[in-house]
Amino acid sequence: MIIRFSHFAMSVSLALSSIVCFAQKAPRNGDPKLTEYWDPAVRVVTPGKTNADPPSDAIVLFDGKDLSKWKSDNDGSAAKWKIEGNAMVVVKGAGNISTKEAFGDCQLHIEWRTPAEVVGESQGRGNSGIFLMGKYELQVLDSYNNRTYSNGQAGSIYKQFPPLVNASRGPGEWQTYDIIFTAPMFYADGALKSPARITVFHNGVLVQNNTTIWGATQYVGTPNYEPHASKEPLILQDHGNPVAYRNIWIRPI
Amino acid sequence: MIIRFSHFAMSVSLALSSIVCFAQKAPRNGDPKLTEYWDPAVRVVTPGKTNADPPSDAIVLFDGKDLSKWKSDNDGSAAKWKIEGNAMVVVKGAGNISTKEAFGDCQLHIEWRTPAEVVGESQGRGNSGIFLMGKYELQVLDSYNNRTYSNGQAGSIYKQFPPLVNASRGPGEWQTYDIIFTAPMFYADGALKSPARITVFHNGVLVQNNTTIWGATQYVGTPNYEPHASKEPLILQDHGNPVAYRNIWIRPI
Amino acid sequence: MIIRFSHFAMSVSLALSSIVCFAQKAPRNGDPKLTEYWDPAVRVVTPGKTNADPPSDAIVLFDGKDLSKWKSDNDGSAAKWKIEGNAMVVVKGAGNISTKEAFGDCQLHIEWRTPAEVVGESQGRGNSGIFLMGKYELQVLDSYNNRTYSNGQAGSIYKQFPPLVNASRGPGEWQTYDIIFTAPMFYADGALKSPARITVFHNGVLVQNNTTIWGATQYVGTPNYEPHASKEPLILQDHGNPVAYRNIWIRPI
Amino acid sequence: MIIRFSHFAMSVSLALSSIVCFAQKAPRNGDPKLTEYWDPAVRVVTPGKTNADPPSDAIVLFDGKDLSKWKSDNDGSAAKWKIEGNAMVVVKGAGNISTKEAFGDCQLHIEWRTPAEVVGESQGRGNSGIFLMGKYELQVLDSYNNRTYSNGQAGSIYKQFPPLVNASRGPGEWQTYDIIFTAPMFYADGALKSPARITVFHNGVLVQNNTTIWGATQYVGTPNYEPHASKEPLILQDHGNPVAYRNIWIRPI
């Protein structure tokens, strides 16, 4: 009661005091320079010719010519996927391929194409995957008129989050993922400090909006986090289907 | 001490018990269907012909033909900017223009071009702005070889956050912003519940990464939040320079 | 190359220009009132006598006297747990109890005690649970020198996240949870817009730090989100052990 | 049209197929062990005798006896505040004091008391401050029936965010802050990677809920981030008023 009364009293006193009343809103007359700062200067990056082309500070992981930035994830030998046109194509049985370089937080552009000839259904049709840090899978699948479990279709964080919408193009068409990835962080004792997060545009349409990832992708059972380095290689999956990739570039952020 | 000892004892007992030891990691043998769900099904959106074209669920705010989706922000009369080619161009003195429709959380694609002929410097050169919800300004400026305060250049949240990098194209060239915007939320008593957040790609390069906005943009003094509706019109600024806009579409999310 | 050169040139010109150099940092001389605002005024809340006591704006869900704010979650009849001293105690077979009122975002204080006489082990010992919105379980368990799976011990988001540390008191001792809970949000089509988040102090020690919850708690299989109202009742679990609760209060935020 | 038709067709086929229909929801029959993991084990922390007392892993910065963990922030000499009872009290003109140790992410408990005899008003009354990392100020002020600018009262992030509510106790009474602080991170080139965040309970009442901090506190002009180390000393402010502190402990997290 006392508190309320004193507030009432204060309101009255404020109402009587034009000077104080005038001060109620943040003032908008004054020196605009007080909210301007010039340092640090912002680093210049030359954008690509189109928005799909690599900007000047990107690391080009595949430019259509060779697999020199990649190795077999099985044994570290040369990557055995094949080059067709300006694309690299999964060779069934050649296994997953991994970048030689490791990455943490990044912006990643990658283009992919499932086979024009539709074979199989659900997870059997045009299946591959992009493993950020080799652990967190963004699903690649022919999800055009191909129903599967929602948390396993194209644009999903596999077995975790469905995409917000299904923005798939058809089989045989090139599709794009534009990705912002934030790496997880761990305490010294191995406990999770902050989980991985991901934003994905599929063919220009937002399908993951700063999604919090649950842990390393698992086919069976619960995903969970186990501590790992702050940078890990990017892995592309051989799931037995001749999925093609092209124009892959990454910007550490 | 007791606690530590009992842990040590437990560790020993675990080491001696192969059955319990086996259970230490989450098991990976079992029914994979336990982590698959089909409902709800994911809504289908047909992507644009290119990633810059509007997807099937986008609201096209400007398609190059007319200003029917816009009005004068001064008095609600017809928007008085001019159409040139497939662009709409700021008419000095015509004032800011506002969408007739209101928006909250959204994905926004917008293209803009500063004059090919460079006039002025710093903030005087090719200046306009995109006000999300009519309040939170993403700066539009000719920032190509044009130094100004860092928190006022192209890609900045004006007078708040500089862009991560300067990814500007030159004067007279078309540039793009691809934006994810999350509206602020307010408690019933007007206090801020959660601030606005924004992610921006400038010409395909990440320049704002889930940035937390401080409040409505202010030229003088501190930004702060005042409660407003969950949807508000988008506003484009007449800053006196003949900046052009084209291909504007928005997806409420 | 040209860009880099021009930057170099600009740096030189800046170094030569003391006026511009002076402007590089945000100025700190000027009117301090430009960053002060008085409106809206901040609502007054009288804190409890101790930090464990309910503040003036809290809804007291249990004050030690009766179960008038609770009902059976099975059939909506009167809650059949028993009152002992200033506590309410799980009656085996009486089933879960639910608040009559529904809550969304909130600060929740709750005290609990597992039986002084230790019976059973792992999940069998002093087991109960607090289901925020009736769906998202913060585990209650006697985890004092009682090893169980990490994502199932006291302070865990059950079958999702282990606590950061095990801050348990012993059997028969009163323990506290101080909780900040943010409700999930859903799109009109049922898709998840933003997940639930939770911060928990266990006996004054931080054990969940703005943790993102994966979905409604599940004993078998993957948690996932299904759309629900923005406010839902709080539920306390009958897991068959005579766990006691007292001093429960909640502040919608 | 084709897409819609095929979806309709699929719905029909699903309705006819009880097996597939059964699979629509994530199954809840199966092995519960698939979502349990035992490693890593959770570290044990013994909580304090009360929730205000330091847990076993806390660094006690002031236990009522001496200023051995503190130094003058002016010149690094011995801290010149005085000990009275179990408290340390600001000595006007002695200047700010700083911890000898540096901290980043942390849980911080701190108790403070403004003078029982009220002198002055607004910012002149019982003013001090807690600078996390020496830069980000959580305001300490006698805000009991003492109106000042909202973003400058007790519980505010000074000149940035007002507290959610005013949970002040009166002059001469001990008050508590329980704080979760997340340090900002910076890119190698000095740009901000992620801002500082803070959660604060004032006398047990939530007043800052994972608030994003704008930058180092400034009395005049815009706050902004300048890169600094991941750990920095904690500073307490001499604002000329004899504010007292006691029972200060911190847990790096």
Contact C191 A23 (CB under 8 A): no
Contact C37 A31 (CB under 8 A): no
HEC string of chain B?
CHHHHHHHHHHHHHHHCHHHHHCCCCCCCCCHHHHCCCCCCCCECCCCCCCCCCCCCCEEEECCCCCCCEEECCCCCECCCEEECCEEECCCCCCCEEEEEEECCEEEEEEEECCCCCCCCHHHCCCEEEEECCCEEEEECCCCCCCCCHHHCCCCECCCECCCCECCCCCCCCEEEEEEEECCEECCCCCEEECCEEEEEECCEEEEEEEECCCCCCCCCCCCCCCCCCCEEEEECCCCCCCEEEEEEEEEC
Instruction: Answer yes or no: do C137 and C196 share one domain.
Output: yes
Report which of residues B21 and C213 the model is more confident about.
Answer: C213
Tokens of B81: 């900017």
* Model pLDDT, residue C24: 59
Q: Percent of chain A, pLDDT > 70?
A: 91
Q: What is the pLDDT of residue A24?
A: 59
Place of tokens 């940078």: A231
Least confident of A23-37, B135-149, C196-210, D11-25: D11-25
Q: Which residues of D213-231 are buried (b: 16+ CB within 10 A; e: fewer)?
A: bbbbbbebbbbbbeeeeee
Contact check, Cβ <8 Å, B191/D164? yes
Q: At residue A2, does pLDDT exceed 60? A: no
Residues C150, C212, single domain; the answer is: yes
> Please, are residues B42 and B57 in contact by the beta-carbon 8 Å criterion?
no
Give the gap in angstroms from C-alpha B20 to the nearest C-alpha of chain A: 18
Q: Same domain for C20 and C121?
A: no
Average pLDDT, chain A: 91
Contact B149 A36 (CB under 8 A): yes
At residue C189, the pLDDT reads 86
Per-residue pLDDT for C23 more than 80? no
Which member of D44, D159, D191 has the closest CB to residue B3? Answer: D44
Average pLDDT over residues C108-121: 97
Contact between chains at B37 and C222 (C-beta distance less than 8 A): yes
B145 part of contact set with chain C, CB < 8 Å: yes
Contact D192 B23 (CB under 8 A): no
Q: Where residue B26 falls among pLDDT bands split at 50, 70, 90?
A: confident
The residue among B25, B28, B29, B35 with the most chain A CBs within 10 A of its CB, best to mutate, is B35
Q: What is the pLDDT averaged over residues C11-39? A: 64
State residue B189's pLDDT score: 86
Report the gap between the CA of B226 and the closest CA in chain C (Å).
Answer: 8
Which residues from B are below 8 Å from C226, CB to CB? 40
ipTM of the complex: 0.91
What is the span of the domain harbouring residue A231? 59-252
Mean pLDDT confidence for B85-114: 98
Compute the distance between CA of residue B74 and CA of residue B55 in angstroms, rounded to an integer: 32
Cβ of B191 and D36 within 8 Å? Answer: no
CB nearest D39 (choices: B7, B24, B212): B24
Chain C residue with CA closest to B226: the answer is C40
Predicted local distance difference test score (pLDDT) of residue B218: 96
Chain A interface, best mutation among C20, C158, C187, C212, by max A CB count within 10 A? C212
Size of interface A-C (CB pairs under 8 A): 72
In a domain, D73, yes or no: yes
Q: Is C54 contained in some domain?
A: no
Is B22 part of any domain? no
Instruction: Write out chain A residues lying below 8 Å of C12, CB-based.
Output: none
Smallest CA–CA distance from D190 into chain B, residue: B164
C104 and C145, same domain (yes or no):
yes
Question: Which of C41, C44, C53 lies nearest to residue D150, judging by beta carbons?
Answer: C41
Q: In this complex, is the C-beta atom of C32 within 8 Å of any C-beta atom belonging to chain B?
A: no
Residue C68: CATH number of its domain: 2.60.120.560
Predicted confidence at residue C6, as pLDDT, reads 33
Mean pLDDT of chain B: 91
Task: Say if C12 falls within a structural domain.
Answer: yes
Measured from the Cβ of residue A183, the count of other Cβ atoms closer than 10 Å reads 21
Distance to chain A for D85, nearest Cα, Å: 30
What's the mean pLDDT in A104-126?
Answer: 97
Does any domain span residue A41? Answer: no
Q: Looking at CA atoms only, how far is residue D218 from chain B in angstroms? A: 11
Residue A187 with chain C: CB contacts under 8 Å: 164
Residues of chain D in contact with residue A40, where contact means CB-CB under 8 angstroms, are 189-191, 226
Residue pair C38/A24 in contact by the 8 Å Cβ criterion: yes
Q: Residue C179: name the closest of C237, C144, C129 by CA.
A: C129
- Between A and B, how many residue pairs show a Cβ–Cβ distance under 8 A? 190
Span B24-51, average pLDDT:
91
| Contact between chains at C191 and A31 (C-beta distance less than 8 A) | no
Both tokens assigned to A22: 């005038």
Please check the confidence at residue D18 and state whether its pLDDT lies above 80.
Answer: no
Which of A8, A189, A212, A220 is best to mutate for the C interface (most C CBs within 10 A)?
A212
* Segment holding A103, helix H or strand E: strand A97-103
Among B23, B36, B224, beta carbon nearest to D26: B36
Candidate from C10, C43, C226 with C-beta closest to B189:
C43
- Count the residues in chain C: 253
Chains with 3+ CB–CB pairs under 8 A to D are A, B, C
Contact D51 C201 (CB under 8 A): yes
C22 in reach of chain B (CB within 8 A)? no
Among positive and negative, which fits the CA dihedral B94, B95, B101, B105? positive
Query: What does the pLDDT average to over C152-156?
Result: 98
- What DSSP assignment string belongs to D168-179? PPPTTS-EEEEE
| Residue A146, both tokens | 């191909």
D180-210 pLDDT, tens digit per residue, is 999 999 998 888 999 999 999 999 999 999 9
| pLDDT of the residue at B60 | 98
- Report CB contact under 8 Å: B42, A152: no
In chain D, what residues touch C178 (CB-CB under 8 Å)? 51, 201, 204
Residue A23 confidence (pLDDT) above 50: no
Q: How confident is the model at residue A5 (pLDDT cuts 50, 70, 90)?
A: very low
Contact D44 C206 (CB under 8 A): no
| Residues of chain B found within 8 Å of residue D34, distances taken between Cβ atoms | 26-27, 30-31, 34-35
C-alpha C29/C-alpha A86 separation (Å) is 59
- State the pLDDT confidence band at D26, using cuts at 50, 70 and 90: confident
Shortest alpha-carbon distance between residue D190 and chain A (Å):
7
Whether B86 and chain C come into contact, CB under 8 Å, resolves to no
- With CA atoms as reference, the chain A residue closest to D7 would be A145
**B contacts of D37 (beta carbons < 8 Å):** 24-26
Which B-chain residues 147-186 have CB contacts (< 8 A) with chain A?
A: 147-153, 159, 162-169, 176, 178, 180
Residues in chain C within 8 Å Cβ distance of B147 = 10, 14
Whether residue B130 lies inside any domain: the answer is yes
Residues C89 and C28 in one domain: no
Beta carbons within 10 angstroms of residue B2's beta carbon: 7
Mean pLDDT of chain D: 91
CB pair distance less than 8 Å for C30 and A30? yes
**Residue C101 DSSP SS3:** strand
Q: Which residue of B has its CA nearest to D7?
A: B44
D190 touches chain C (CB under 8 A): no
Whether D223 maps to a domain, the answer reads yes
pLDDT tens per residue across span B197-235 = 999 999 999 999 999 999 999 999 999 999 999 999 999
Nearest to A158 by CA among A239, A101, A230: A239
Instruction: Calculate mean pLDDT across residues C138-150.
Output: 98
Q: How far is CA B242 from CA B87, B238, D113, in A?
A: 11, 8, 59
- Phi, psi dihedrals of residue A6, rounded to the nearest 5°: -65, -35
Question: How large is the average pLDDT for residues B148-156?
Answer: 98
Q: Do D220 and C147 touch (CB under 8 A)?
A: no
Using CA atoms in the order D182, D187, D192, D197, what is the torsion angle rounded to 10 degrees?
Answer: -10
D36 touches chain B (CB under 8 A): yes
pLDDT at D215 over 80: yes
Contacts with B, D 204-233, CB within 8 Å? 212, 214, 222, 224
Q: Do the chains contact at B222 and C34, CB–CB below 8 Å? A: yes
Q: How many domains does chain D have?
A: 1
